[in-house]
Amino acid sequence: MVDTVWEAIMDSDMFGSNWGAERYGVPQGVLRFRNAFWWGWNKTGVKVKNILGDKVPVLIMYGEHDKTVNSAPGTVPFLSVPELYKSIPGTRKLMFKVACSGHQLQWEPASAHLHRLSRNWLKHTAVDGHTTGSFEMDEDGDYTPVP
């Protein structure tokens, strides 16, 4: 799967696919980070028409070391996954902070936990019977509620 995903990324990036170390005289490509556009969900946007967490259930997972979407207070722009979660108006929402992970959770060792929780959420709109709440997940995928 890793090779298939890498090929898809390289096929979609004509610049990054021509950079990087060469192998047999051919560049192997690099994964470029996109330019950050600070748009999308925010404390105001999540409240529009009160559909998030109600008509549209929300599952959020983030790495405990993710500083991309969890900046220090006073930073511009200030980004905080827990604050975003609190701002979602409905009650059909779950949030998991994943131990020993960063911003690229889907590529990290904890990706199996991401897949398991996502699959449960998409099939049942619940994870192990939970439809709301905030949790901390350890490296083994076990989780406990955050008070």
DSSP letter at 104? -
75 and 48 share a domain?
yes
Neighbouring-strand partners of residue 94: 59, 133
pLDDT of residue 68: 86
111 and 90 share a domain?
yes
72 and 12 share a domain?
no
47 and 74 share a domain?
yes
63 and 27 share a domain?
no
141 and 71 share a domain?
yes
Its domain, for residue 101, covers 40-145
14 and 67 share a domain?
no
Q: How many independent structural domains does the chain possess?
A: 2
> What is the rounded CA–CA span in Å between residue 41 and residue 95?
15
Instruction: Please write the tens of the pLDDT for every residue from 11-34.
Output: 888 888 888 888 898 888 888 765
Q: Which is more confidently placed, 69 or 60?
A: 60
pLDDT of residue 10: 86
Number of Cβ within a 10 Å radius of residue 127: 19
pLDDT at 86 over 80: yes
50 and 85 share a domain?
yes
Question: Is 75 within 8 Å of 104 (Cβ atoms)?
Answer: no
pLDDT at 37 over 80: no
Beta-strand runs (E) in 7-82: 22-23, 26-27, 58-63
63 and 115 share a domain?
yes
pLDDT at 42 over 60: yes
- Residue matched to tokens 């990054």: 16
49 and 118 share a domain?
yes
85 and 135 share a domain?
yes
85 and 106 share a domain?
yes
Share of the chain above pLDDT 90, in %: 52
